[in-house]
Chains A and B, each alone.
Chain A
Amino acid sequence: QLVQSGAEVKKPGAAVKVSCEVSGYKFTDYFMHWVRQSPGKGPEWMGLIDPEEGETIFAEKFQGRVTLIADTSADTVHMELNSLAGEDTAMYYCALGGATLMDGFDIWGQGTMVTVSS
């Protein structure tokens, strides 16, 4: 099970941090992906983290603007997105991957709505 933190409202230029707490499996066994979905649009893959090694891979679009951190003491992955703009208004999801990079993601968190507005 993946449980995400609550909705956020941020001003342009600010940063937002979304958390995803996992339960029911060994935290370090599987990759964790992050996907966002803007209102009325399709999902967009942002990146992933290997919770055991802390290594990350990001979509080119988000390179340098998003940070993923795995807190193994709390079985939680944190996603931070900075320099927010209106286009970042979206539902943000964590999604559980597999043991390899090529495994898809089949369990999703409930989503965290991030609204960017002045």
Chain B
Amino acid sequence: QSALTQPASVSGSPGQSITISCTGTSSDVGGHDSVSWYQQYPDSAPQVIVYDVYKRPSGVSNRFSGSKSGNTASLTISGLLPDDECHYYCCSYTSTSTWVFGGGTKLTVL
């Protein structure tokens, strides 16, 4: 199972919106609505910010939103804050009942 494809880095200014893509295949992202997004700060475990493509756990800001089209899932962060600067990872269920992560995207808030 190959890792999902994410851009290595994205950047934006405070207050702007950015979108991170996550491209897989019809066997993972395109075939299931079990796509999650994780936020990870240095020396901390990943924390889920979106699950089941677009759902947000309680306590997660509505500035984070998820969507999916075909084999590509997307995470949009609106109203960028300096504190949003960290790594973001997508993760998808697959048709072999396994899970696969994306390679990760480093968000820089300029």
- Chain A interface residues toward B at CB < 8 A: 33, 35, 41-45, 47-48, 57-60, 93, 101-106, 108-111
Kindly list 19 other residue pairs between chains A and B, CB separation below 8 angstroms, not including A43-B91, A103-B34.
A41-B104, A42-B3, A42-B89, A42-B102, A42-B103, A43-B101, A47-B98, A57-B98, A59-B1, A101-B93, A101-B97, A102-B32, A102-B34, A102-B93, A104-B52, A104-B93, A106-B51, A109-B45, A110-B45
Size category of the B interface is 20 to 34
Do residues B57 and A44 form an inter-chain contact, with CB atoms below 8 A? Answer: no
The answer to whether residues A104 and B1 also contact, given A42-B89, A45-B98, A109-B45 and a CB cut-off of 8 A, is no
Q: How far is the CA of A82 from the CA of B104 in the complex (A)?
A: 27
Do residues A60 and B1 form an inter-chain contact, with CB atoms below 8 A? Answer: yes
- Chain B interface residues toward A at CB < 8 A: 1, 3, 32, 34, 36, 38, 45-48, 51-52, 57, 87, 89, 91, 93, 97-104
Find chain A residues with CB under 8 A from B101 CB: 35, 42-45
Query: Smallest Cβ distance from A107 to chain B, in angstroms?
Result: 9
Find chain A residues with CB under 8 A from B57 CB: 106
Q: How far is the CA of A6 from the CA of B97 in the complex (A)?
A: 30
Q: Taking CB as reference atom, which chain A residue is nearest B3? A: A42
The answer to whether residues A93 and B45 also contact, given A43-B89, A44-B101 and a CB cut-off of 8 A, is yes
Q: Taking CB as reference atom, which chain A residue is nearest B6? A: A42
Do residues A43 and B38 form an inter-chain contact, with CB atoms below 8 A? Answer: yes
Find chain A residues with CB under 8 A from B46 CB: 43, 108
Find chain B residues with CB under 8 A from A103 CB: 34
Do residues B104 and A104 form an inter-chain contact, with CB atoms below 8 A? Answer: no
Q: How far is the CA of A45 from the CA of B100 in the complex (A)?
A: 6
The 10 closest A-B pairs by CB, nearest first: A42-B104, A108-B45, A104-B36, A45-B99, A106-B48, A102-B34, A104-B51, A43-B101, A102-B93, A42-B103
Find chain B residues with CB under 8 A from A110 CB: 45
Find chain B residues with CB under 8 A from A47 CB: 98
Q: How far is the CA of A19 from the CA of B38 in the complex (A)?
A: 23
Find chain B residues with CB under 8 A from A58 CB: 98
Do residues A59 and B98 form an inter-chain contact, with CB atoms below 8 A? Answer: yes
Query: Smallest Cβ distance from B24 to chain A, in angstroms?
Result: 13
